[in-house]
Amino acid sequence: MKFCFDSNIYISYPDLFATRTQVYVSSIVLTELLAGAQDATRIKQIKSWRTLAVKFDHFLVPDAEDWLQAGLVLQRLSQKSKRDNFGSTPKISVEERVRLFNDCLLAVSCRRAGVVVVTDNVKDFERLSSVCRVKFQSGDEFFAPVSP
């Protein structure tokens, strides 16, 4: 199975990339991780993930169609929210809007590549999946011990 970790998974498991061979790396996730990097060592580590992902053709970059699809998904989600709230569009913070946009772009680019998103942000991916086919799995499910 091909999968891509959301940035919150890398935050919980900072050395995860080195231990997985089927991992795909998203430019969106790297951008979020670089923006929050605390020191030069972490920046170097994140950049090395990109280098390895490119080398093995596991680097996901949203293309023009992904950007278009993300806009359409967010529009459908907005319309659904409006219907669910009897014609009133719920207010969301700028921070939530940015996070939802990034998650949406990640979802559609992973969908195009046939990659499952592993995230601890299940709530947003459940919202997105109500208007867009996206495969995702919670970090708890993904990392749960396999019983014999």
CATH number at residue 121: 3.40.50.1010
Tally of domains within the chain: 1
Confidence grade of residue 114 (pLDDT, cut at 50, 70, 90): very high
Strands (E), the chain: 3-5, 23-26, 59-60, 116-119, 136-138
46-60, 85-99, 101-115: least confidently modelled range: 85-99
pTM: 0.86
Helix (H, G, I), strand (E, B) or coil at 70: helix
In terms of Cα–Cα distance, which of 113, 107, 109, 102 is closest to 137? 107
pLDDT digits (tens, 9 = 90+) for 37-58: 999 999 998 999 899 899 989 9
Tell me, yes or no, whether 84 lies in a domain: yes
Tell me, yes or no, whether 65 lies in a domain: yes
Tell me, yes or no, whether 147 lies in a domain: no
Tell me, yes or no, whether 19 lies in a domain: yes
Boundaries of domain holding 118? 3-142
Tell me, yes or no, whether 148 lies in a domain: no
Tell me, yes or no, whether 69 lies in a domain: yes
Tell me, yes or no, whether 32 lies in a domain: yes
pLDDT of 111 strictly over 90: yes
Between the alpha carbon of residue 30 and those of residues 5, 60, 85, 98, the distances in Å are 10, 10, 35, 15
For residue 89, the model assigns a pLDDT of: 64
Tell me, yes or no, whether 97 lies in a domain: yes
What's the whole-number mean pLDDT along residues 99-114? 94
Residues 6 or more apart in contact with residue 74 via CB below 8 angstroms: 100, 101, 104
